[in-house]
Amino acid sequence: MNNLAKALLAYIAVSLAPIMISCTATAAGAQRDPTAVLNSLADRLYVLGETNGEVDDMVAAEANAAEEVRQYIAGGSTDGLLAREKGEHSPLAAAAYLGYPNVVAALLTSSLVRIHINDADEMGMTPWIAANLSMRQSLWACNPAIVGNPYKFVPMLITRPYYTSNPTPPYKKTRELLEEAGASSDMAKAKEVWLASCKNETEETETKVRASTDVQRTVQELGAENLTSLLIMLQKNAAEARKKQ
């Protein structure tokens, strides 16, 4: 068992009650829209990470979700392909944010989705920018305080193999697919969105992001460094808690 797994187990044992994820069964043959597919995929990756942690199974789950989206679009459905209300993310933006390249590719088979490829939320984040921010690999650099929220931190740790052991780096592939489909690549805007979102980042992180020529690579590297530091802290806290028992 590697240090990451040991730290995670210690953290859960000392700090957490069990986290339960409720999965609603879908009626056989029912066609789900992309948002429902994305929600189900997130649950599936969590379950896989919690049970066997096999990256091949995680990759297969994402590919299966992509095929379901592809079939939905091929059937002529357009409902749910765009954000339904102001302030909501479209399925394309959500898939890019989560680093699901096959799902992104499936969504881009829709001409309607491609027309809206550069749609931005209220902060100015487009799907391309979301892929650059790589939040599933960089959130601990953006907001180190996330460690204090186990209901967000632990699921991200459990699903980490999908991002770090995947033979096809998810966020890099997602960015490439979006660029090939005509997405606007505005690195200055990506920095602006990161800096506006990451109010709790360290001064060193902010300096490195401002100087970066590739935000995606920079924030992923910073995320890996910060996670190592956080895990060392968690191991230390778990050891101290065990001594007090």
Q: Quick one: average pLDDT of 40-45?
A: 97
pLDDT at 13 over 90: no
Cβ burial 178-188 (10 Å sphere, 16+ → b, else e): beebebeebee
Q: First CA to last CA across the chain, in angstroms?
A: 24
pLDDT tens digits, residue range 93-116? 999 999 999 999 999 999 999 999
Domain segments of the chain as ranges: 3-13+32-244
CA distance to 78, 104, 137, 190, 233, per residue, from 131 (Å): 23, 10, 11, 10, 29
CB-based contacts of 126: which residues, under 8 Å, 6+ apart? Answer: 93, 117, 118, 119, 120, 183, 184, 186, 189
Average pLDDT, the chain: 88
Average pLDDT over residues 33-50: 96
pLDDT above 60 for 138 = yes
User: Distance between CA 233 and CA 41 in Å, rounded?
Assistant: 31
209 pLDDT above the threshold of 80 = yes
Residue 185 scores a pLDDT above 60 = yes
Q: Please report the pLDDT score of residue 200 as a whole number.
A: 94
Q: What is the pTM of this model?
A: 0.86
Res. 19 pLDDT band, cuts 50 70 90: very low
Closest CA to 228 of 132, 133, 137, 98: 137
